[in-house]
Structure 1
Amino acid sequence: MLKNYFKIAIRNLFKHKLHTGINLIGLSLGLGVGILIFFFVQFELSFDSFHEDQDRIFRVKTHERIDGEMRETYASPVILAAAFRDEFPQIEAISGVTGADVQAILPDQSSQNQRLRLVDADFLKILNFPLLKGDISNQLQDKFSVVITEEVGEKYFGNENPIGKSIQLKMGEDFVDYQVTGVLQNPPANSSIPFEILMPIANMDFFADEESLASWYNVWGFNLVKLQSSEQVESIHQSMEAFMKKSLGEEYEEGGLYFSLSPISEMHFSQGAGNGGIETTQASLLWILAGIAFLVLLIACINFTTMAIGRATSRAKEVGVRKTMGASFAQLIGQFLTEAFLTTLMASIIGLVLAELLLPTFNDLFQKELDIVYGPVQFSILLGLILIITGLAGAYPAFFLSGLRPIKVLKGNLSIHFGKQGLRKGLVTFQFFISFLLIAATLIMVNQMNAIRNYDLGFAQDQILIVDMPDYPSKSFLTSLKESYRTAETFRQTLAARAEVASTAISVATYGDDAYWQVGYPKEDGTLFSFKVNFVAGDYLKTLGMELVEGRDLNPTIGADSSSFLINEAFAQAFDWDDPTGEMIPGTRFDPHQIVGVVKDFHHASLYQPIEPVLIAKSPEAVFSGISNLMINSTTNPKLLVQSAVGDLNQIKGVIEEEWNKMYAGLPLNITFMDETVQEQYQADERLGKMVFIASCIAILIASMGLLAMVALSIAGRTKEIGIRKVLGASGWSISWMFGKEYLVITALGLLVALPFSLYLMQGWVSQFAIKAWPSWLSFGLLSLGGIAFTLLIVYVQSLKASLSNPVNTLKDE
């Protein structure tokens, strides 16, 4: 029986080549996109799932009240690990995780920047990174030991056994030898915590002084906790208030600062501050992509269903004959579902080929390294898609046709008006709704991103290069900053003397790099005022083209204006200053200082965030004397900003490389462009916009093929009517309009529902930006006219051919 199903199904598929071809193309395109997206979503959802006892592993989240508002960050103090270990017996293991960049010497005596993770010995007890070489019991015990990955071992030591060998890392002023005690398997692609070298967290004394490391208000990296039981989370949360009272003493303020535990399963999808360089993805992106894949597949399924309904009349006689010959209802359903299954199976094979072909483009678009792996999970996804699509596309035609009564079919009295018209029109309307919804979403996204791209950020972007200067690690922030700036200033002056350079400046932070320091101090009324700080040198405002609205600029001379500040307008508004020049920050905590100028508000961060109060200073001492809170999300090494005086940026890069090799020979040079840095902030949404555009194009292609086929089937069923109308004097245009008005109503309904629904759906996406821009009604009007014109063109091309045919040929059988 099953063999006959397949034989008859194959015969029918080859007999109706156009019908089969359109279904195959539509389903193949839909499955190609769907397979790629669903495999990608599955990969993203698998992050960190390889850790054993995942339900018992958590990341500490910090909650702090600043300016009367509770703020959350995943960064936490270094002191927390030891305090939690002593206070909460429910904790089986705990480890801080802090990132740092240092200079490393390779065996060939060349140097490179090396990313480190400073962790506690419990790190390898919490997370499952297999140790390939070494004894697990003595890893990360000795301060001057390191654990490396296979990749680092090959890079530093080739094929030799790394155990017992040394790696030279610059810690503070000197290079220090660290002995390799273990080699770990390279972290898998679905690990949220990438690393190359693990180092004991005791080495934090190279990066900060004892006071900073012991402060509850200075956060570094994050902390991971493994509990004895997952049910113990609530008991720790309930004990948190007593713990904070004990830890903060006189500084305790109810609800002012506390910690909670966030499951590691949520780490990959966390978008809060203080993520510490982990691999993250927006959960909303996954659901949007999955929704796009579902809609494209749904359009392809609708094509399948509407075309099957359109061919109902020709298949009805087949059903009547087969029922008369004894075929049962179940057998007929099995036959039609087999045809749907074979079509879907062939489309799946073609879709897999398309997915493989589209994979490089997809990886480039989303900056991923996804490989299509055909494991049990992927096979289950593929099989599920085939079965679901077979059901969606083939169920209604199978049950509808199998249920026809043979007497009415064979007598010619069959009425399938609803099947041929009502449902078919409804499905086509829904198909147009999805297509126009995706097109409208693309229009909204393109309009928003164009507004972002053309928005005045308050500083210049063109002809400005950013050079990462060497860091100077020190246990003292002040020493680190001073020494880094001292060497950077020498290099800045060297470049400033070149004719190819218009102006130069040094800055800790640049736009969107999350390097502005978040600081806070208690105001006279007891509230904590929070603001951003940037330390600069040279011609900062001139280089970036910033506008000074009041007062004067900082003096670029070394040593001058060491106690002077620049602030932005938002900072002045926070204190209701009409004339901020000459003012001092209220309170007695700060050393004597003076505000000498006000900079017009500029966006220090991406346009996802509103403008915040910003203070710009030359000397960190004047700021550090007054603050009580500090959060640093990035390293302290300064950046050199270079404004080119020549149009050829390659020429100015050559100048920088020439001077760099004279002063920093052997050190890696990293140069970026300011305009590219700005655009990188919106890459995720730019990529999403491109994906929606691609999906809308595929949806239009599938829908147009379906419309083309449906118009052809409709005309084929009304050829005699067309002939009679022509004999009675109807023109070709009137006959075309007879068909066109039917699909014009369908198109208009799809548009009327899709446009307002797209505005509703996209509100959440647009609301994430501080600057919002919606398309004009003219844009939506042009979109509507384009959709109507597109439909009429398809209908007109098909109907015109029928209207030009000789009526004698269609009526001679009557």
Structure 2
Amino acid sequence: MFKNYFKIAIRNLLKNKLHTGINLIGLTLGLGVSILIFFFVQFEASFDNFHKDSERIFRLERHEISEGEEFSSFSTPVITAPTFESEFPQIENITRMISSSAQAYLDESTTQNQKLLMVSPDFLEIFDFELIEGNKNQVLNDKFGIVVTEKVAQKYFGDANPIGKSIRLKMGDNYEEYRVTGLLENVPSNSSIQFEILMNDKNLDFNIAEQNQNNWYNVYGEAYVKLNDASSKASIEAGVDPMMKKVLGEDYEEGTYFFTLQPMSEIHLTDDANTGMAETTRPTLLWILAGIAFLILLIACINFTTMAIGRSTTRAKEVGVRKTMGAEFGQLVFQFLTEAFLTTITALVLGLVLAELLVPTFNNLFEKELTLVYGPVQILILAGLVVLITAMAGAYPAFFMSNLRPIKVLKGNLSMHFGKQALRKGLVAFQFFISFLLIASTLIMVNQMKAIRNYDLGFDQEMVVVVDVPYVPTQSFVSSIQLGFQQAELYRQALVRRSEVQSAGITVSTYGDEAFWFAGFPLENGDQFDFRVNFVGGDYLKTLGLEVVEGRGFNPDPGSDSSAFVINEAFAKAMKWDDPLGELMPNPRFDPHQIVGVVKDFHHNSLYKEIEPILLVKNPATFFSGINMLSINSSTNPKVLVKGTGTDFEGFRTMLENEWKQVFPLEAFKFSFLDQTIEEQYKADERLGKMVFFAAGIAILIAAMGLFAMAALSIAGRTKEIGIRKVLGASSVSISWMFNKEFLMITVAGVLIALPLSLYLMQNWIGQFAVKDWPSWLNFLLLAIGGIAFTLIIVSAQAFKATQMNPVKTLKDE
């Protein structure tokens, strides 16, 4: 019996090739894109699930409250881990996690920058990273023992077994030998913690003085804990305040400095800008992508349903004959659902092929490493899609057609309307509504991102190259910055002698929401004043084209202006200084200093954020003498900013590298473009915009096929009427307009609903920017006109073809 259902279904599908082809193409496109998106959403939801005790793993979050304002960060003091371990018996394991880097020897003449992760010995007891060789209880016990991933082992040792071999790393002033004690599988791509080499956190001694390691107000890296029981979280958080009172002593102020525990499951998926070292994804993005996938599938299913309704008259006679021959209602339903199932399963196979082809493009767009793995979860997703689409696309035709009364059908008394026309028009209108909603949203996003790209940031970013200077680790933070600046100055001096260089400056921070350091000091009235700071040297202001509106900029000579500060307009306004030149910071702890200049406000942050007070400093010792709070979320390594004079970048880059080899013959040359750094800030929204644009294109293509099929079916059912009208003298234009009116009303209805709704829905997205730019009403008018023209072209083409038929042939067919 089932074999006959499938035979008949296949015959029906092959008999109506246009109908079947449009359904297959629409469902294939919808399924291909949807499979990719649903697998991506499932991949993002699986982050960190491979840790078997993930529900007992938490990350410490530090909170400081000043003047009613709360500042939170995942950066913690070095002393946090041992203190928590001794104070809370509920903690089973704890680890510090400090990201660092060092120059590493590849051979006697080549070095490269190597990323490191300093961790406590308990690290591999907390996390389930797969250890291939070594004992996880011992591999991190030795200060000079390291654990490497397969990728790193291949880079340094080729195919040889790395255990027992050494890597030379520059720690402090000297190169140290580090012996490989463990080999790990490469870190899974769905891990929010990424690393290449693990080393014992005793190596912090090379970078951080002991007094800073025991200071509760100096923060470095992060801390993770594994609890005996996940329910202990509340009791630990309740005990934090008594612990802080104990360790801070006289500095303790109730409720102003404390820690909370963030569950591992909440680390990767977050809308919080404060993400710490973890790789994160905004859950809003996943909801948007999942919504897009569902809408595309819905449009494809609507095509299936509307075409089934369009062919209802032909199929109604088939149903009448079958019922007369004894077919039951359930058998007819099963027959129609079998056709929907066969179409869906074929489209699924083709959709999987399409999804595989789109994976590289998708990974490139979202900078992911997604692979389509067909495990139990993925198989369930695919099975669910087949059931959902079969039900959505086949349910109405199956149940409606199977319920027809055979006597009316076979007598020819079946109304051409019987409720289906309103449903068909409604479904087509809904298709257009979805399509125009996606197109209007794309228009808003493209316009906003264009405004962001063209916005004047207040500084010059064109042809500015950023060159990283070798890091000079010392136990003194001030000394490390000063020594780094000395190295950077050697390279800068070599560059300014070249005719290809217009100017060169030195900076610690470049650009971005957390690039400039966050600092603060107490005012005379006890209030806390917070601002952003950057350490600069050379011709920093000139290289970036920053406009000095009062006073002067820094003298580029290394030994000059050691007590000078330069501020921006926002800083002067926040301090309420009418004449800031010569002013002093209202805090006697600052070493002797003077405000020598004010620069016009510029956007050091991305355009998601407003301009903040900024302090530019040449001598870090003067600055550190007066502050009581500092938070660093970016590199502490100085960089040289180089502005070129021409447009020959290849020659310019070669010159930069040649001069580098003269100054740092053993160090790796590394550079980037300032404008690329700026563009990086908006990549997430650029990607989302591209995805919505792609989805809008797919939606329009599927809707176009649906409109084509519906127009064809509608006109095919009225060929005799067209013949009679032509015989009575109707023109081709009037007949074409008769059909166009019906579909134009549907198009206009979709546009009128979609455009205002897109403005409403996009308010939250565009509201995240400090700089906003909505498209003009003319853009939306052109979009509406384009939609109307789109409908006119498709329907008119079908109508014109029908009007060219000889009325004699259409009228004698009875």
Q: Same fold judged by TM-score > 0.5?
A: yes
Structure 1 residue 166 displacement after superposition: 2.2
Aligned to 2:357: 357
Structure 1 residue 239 displacement after superposition: 2.1
Structure 1 residue 413 displacement after superposition: 1.3
Q: Retained in 2: the 8 A contact 1:99–1:276?
A: no
Asked whether 1:215 is paired with 2:197, we answer no
Number of aligned pairs?
814
Unaligned runs of 5+ residues in structure 1 are none
Aligned to 2:629: 629
- Counterpart mapping for 1:498-647 below 5 A: 498-512=498-512, 514-647=514-647
Aligned to 2:706: 706
Distance in 2 (alpha carbons) for counterparts of 1:758 and 1:771: 19
Aligned to 2:482: 482
Distance in 1 (alpha carbons) for counterparts of 2:699 and 2:274: 40
Distance in 2 (alpha carbons) for counterparts of 1:216 and 1:472: 24
| Structure-2-length-normalised TM-score | 0.98
| Structure-1-length-normalised TM-score | 0.98
Distance in 2 (alpha carbons) for counterparts of 1:610 and 1:767: 13
Distance in 2 (alpha carbons) for counterparts of 1:699 and 1:663: 57
Tell me which moved more, 554-563 or 145-154.
145-154
What SS does the aligned partner of 1:610 have? coil
Aligned to 1:372: 372
What SS does the aligned partner of 1:262 have? strand
Tell me which moved more, 372-381 or 385-394.
372-381
Distance in 2 (alpha carbons) for counterparts of 1:539 and 1:627: 26
Structure 1 residue 415 displacement after superposition: 2.5
> What amino acid is the match of 1:430?
F
> What amino acid is the match of 2:385?
L
What SS does the aligned partner of 2:262 have? strand
Tell me which moved more, 410-419 or 19-28.
410-419
Aligned to 1:327: 327
Tell me which moved more, 746-755 or 722-731.
722-731
Structure 1 residue 276 displacement after superposition: 4.3
Distance in 2 (alpha carbons) for counterparts of 1:203 and 1:813: 93
Aligned to 1:249: 249
1:334-360, Cα deviation, whole Å (9 max, x unpaired): 110010000011111111111111111
Tell me which moved more, 300-309 or 102-111.
102-111
> What amino acid is the match of 1:356?
E
Asked whether 1:802 is paired with 2:792, we answer no
Aligned to 1:143: 143
Aligned to 2:716: 716
Residues 232, 238 of structure 1: CA spacing in aligned structure 2 closer, same or farther, 3 A cutoff? same
Distance in 1 (alpha carbons) for counterparts of 2:513 and 2:526: 31
Structure 1 residue 211 displacement after superposition: 2.7
Q: Retained in 1: the 8 A contact 2:512–2:606?
A: yes
Q: Retained in 2: the 8 A contact 1:553–1:596?
A: yes
Aligned to 1:791: 791
Structure 1 residue 136 displacement after superposition: 2.2
- Counterpart mapping for 1:687-706 below 5 A: 687-706=687-706
Structure 1 residue 154 displacement after superposition: 2.5
> What amino acid is the match of 1:501?
V
Structure 1 residue 636 displacement after superposition: 1.5
> What amino acid is the match of 2:777?
W
1:572-631, Cα deviation, whole Å (9 max, x unpaired): 111111111111111212111111111111111211222111100100001100111111
What SS does the aligned partner of 1:490 have? helix
Aligned to 2:462: 462
Structure 1 residue 806 displacement after superposition: 2.3
Q: Retained in 2: the 8 A contact 1:274–1:633?
A: no
Distance in 1 (alpha carbons) for counterparts of 2:527 and 2:207: 30
Distance in 2 (alpha carbons) for counterparts of 1:418 and 1:82: 77
Q: Retained in 2: the 8 A contact 1:316–1:401?
A: yes
Structure 1 residue 449 displacement after superposition: 0.3
Tell me which moved more, 280-289 or 49-58.
280-289
1:395-429, Cα deviation, whole Å (9 max, x unpaired): 11111111111111111111252543110011001
1:292-312, Cα deviation, whole Å (9 max, x unpaired): 111111100000000001111
Q: Retained in 1: the 8 A contact 2:602–2:611?
A: yes
> What amino acid is the match of 2:454?
N
Structure 1 residue 483 displacement after superposition: 0.9
Aligned to 1:430: 430
Structure 1 residue 479 displacement after superposition: 1.2
Structure 1 residue 109 displacement after superposition: 5.0
Aligned to 1:77: 77
Distance in 1 (alpha carbons) for counterparts of 2:464 and 2:635: 22
- Counterpart mapping for 1:153-552 below 5 A: 153-270=153-270, 272=272, 275-415=275-415, 417-512=417-512, 514-552=514-552
Distance in 1 (alpha carbons) for counterparts of 2:275 and 2:765: 22
Distance in 1 (alpha carbons) for counterparts of 2:251 and 2:526: 12
Asked whether 1:3 is paired with 2:3, we answer yes
1:9-36, Cα deviation, whole Å (9 max, x unpaired): 0000000000000000000011111111
Aligned to 1:748: 748
Q: Retained in 1: the 8 A contact 2:61–2:261?
A: yes
Tell me which moved more, 4-13 or 133-142.
133-142
> What amino acid is the match of 2:696?
S
Q: Retained in 2: the 8 A contact 1:103–1:169?
A: yes
Distance in 2 (alpha carbons) for counterparts of 1:214 and 1:527: 26
Structure 1 residue 392 displacement after superposition: 0.7
Distance in 1 (alpha carbons) for counterparts of 2:206 and 2:137: 25
> What amino acid is the match of 2:664?
Y
> What amino acid is the match of 1:396?
Y
Tell me which moved more, 37-46 or 334-343.
37-46
Distance in 2 (alpha carbons) for counterparts of 1:527 and 1:172: 39
What SS does the aligned partner of 1:462 have? coil
What SS does the aligned partner of 2:612 have? coil
Distance in 2 (alpha carbons) for counterparts of 1:445 and 1:317: 50
Structure 1 residue 477 displacement after superposition: 0.8
Structure 1 residue 728 displacement after superposition: 2.1
Q: Retained in 1: the 8 A contact 2:521–2:587?
A: no
Q: Retained in 2: the 8 A contact 1:66–1:529?
A: no
Distance in 2 (alpha carbons) for counterparts of 1:75 and 1:417: 68
Aligned to 2:766: 766
Q: Retained in 1: the 8 A contact 2:117–2:199?
A: yes
Distance in 2 (alpha carbons) for counterparts of 1:746 and 1:215: 69
